[in-house]
Amino acid sequence: MDNQKKTLLVISAHAADFVWRAGGAIALYAGRGYRVRILCLSFGERGESERLWKMPGMTLERVKQMRRDESEKAATILGAEIRFFDAGDYPLQLTNYLTEEMVTEFRSCQPEIVLTHSASDPYNMDHGDASEITLRTRVYAQAAGYPAEGKKLGAPPVFAFEPHQPEQCGFKPEVLLDITSVFERKRHAMEAMEAQEHLWEYYTDLARRRGVQAARNSGKTGIKYAEAYQRFYPQVADDLS
């Protein structure tokens, strides 16, 4: 791994979340030469693998392995590296081990940008928990006195990617990211997530709708597909253009 590259760090509660919600950003930044590292906290083995559990003789370990295989394939398509914590889902809990490893990841990667879940999701509490885990360990990584190896973290911006039902999650699109140039790669990665095939068209349609909004808000008629993000912290700038 080339630690001299700028890094985009993506924290995903489950095996497929990063694909639906941030696949375009991942492919876009990988194409710009960034190191893109995905931290997959769980496989979504209990709460997001309904189709697999309907197969005869299915076991927990088989579900995990199948979701892992899908995620690795998707990450490769998008040009990213991925780490699995296998922290469990339903519930996803912050343990001492996970805290220490997440802080170490922040300090090792020194990310320029962090992407994760929105703060609230009443349809899947793991998503909000993943958001809290991200923000909490980012703050720990900034503390000089925290007992972890590596240089303390600066203040990378953190963006929430769009939840499945944004209106119910308090999500307000503040950034519309043009992913037109990499959308076909995102679609290819989505199709690697065979356990959740029912979401392929949903997130294709969402990207198209956000693309229409991005074009209207920018006057850039060439935008066809976009992803929506919301900031956790204020943007600091020296002008308002």
pLDDT per residue over 193-208, tens digit each? 999 999 999 999 999 9
* Total number of domains in the chain: 1
Q: Directed axis angle between helix 17-31 and helix 183-192, to 10°?
A: 140
State the average pLDDT over residues 120-132. 97
Average pLDDT value for the chain: 96
For residue 142, the one-letter residue type is Q
Q: Where are the beta strands (DSSP E) in the chain?
A: 7-12, 35-40, 81-84, 113-116, 158-161, 175-178, 226-231
Asked if residue 11 is part of any domain, the answer here is yes
Q: What is the DSSP letter of 194?
A: G
Are residues 7 and 37 in contact, defined by beta-carbon separation less than 8 angstroms?
yes
Is residue 17 pLDDT above 50, yes or no? Answer: yes
Q: Are 134 and 85 in contact (CB under 8 A)?
A: no
> What band does 159 get if pLDDT is binned at 50, 70 and 90?
very high
Is the alpha carbon torsion for 180, 4, 98, 69 positive or negative? positive
- Do the domain assignments include residue 15? yes
Q: Structural domain of residue 108, as residue ranges?
A: 7-231
Question: Within a domain: residue 103?
Answer: yes
- What is the band of 11 on the pLDDT scale with cuts at 50, 70, 90? very high
Longest dimension (CA), the chain: 60
If you ran DSSP here, which 8-state letter would residue 232 be given?
S
Does any domain span residue 1? no
CB 6 within 8 A of CB 34: yes
**236 assigned to some structural domain:** no
- pLDDT value of position 1: 38
Q: Under a CB-based contact definition with an 8 Å cutoff, are residues 15 and 48 in contact?
A: yes
Residue 53: how many CB atoms within 10 A of its CB? Answer: 14
Strand stretches in 3-157, DSSP E: 7-12, 35-40, 81-84, 113-116
Q: Quick one: pLDDT band at residue 241, thresholds 50, 70, 90?
A: confident
CATH number at residue 88: 3.40.50.10320
pLDDT computed for residue 151 by the predictor: 95
Inside any domain, residue 23: yes
Give one DSSP letter per residue of 44-59, joined into a string.
Answer: -TTTS-HHHHTSTT--
Contact 165, 127 (CB under 8 A): no
The 10s digit of each residue's pLDDT in 25-81 is 999 999 999 999 999 999 999 999 999 999 999 999 999 999 999 999 999 999 999
In a domain, 222, yes or no: yes
Contact 181, 140 (CB under 8 A): no
Question: Is 238 part of a structural domain of the chain?
Answer: no
Residue 153 CB contacts under 8 Å (≥ 6 apart), including other chains: 106, 107, 110, 138, 141, 142
Tell me the per-residue pLDDT of 206-225, one tens digit each, with 9 for 90 and over. 999 999 999 999 999 999 99
Cα 140 from chain centroid (whole Å): 20
Residue 205 has φ and ψ, to the nearest 5°, of: -65, -40
**Other residues' Cβ atoms within 10 Å of the Cβ of residue 235:** 8
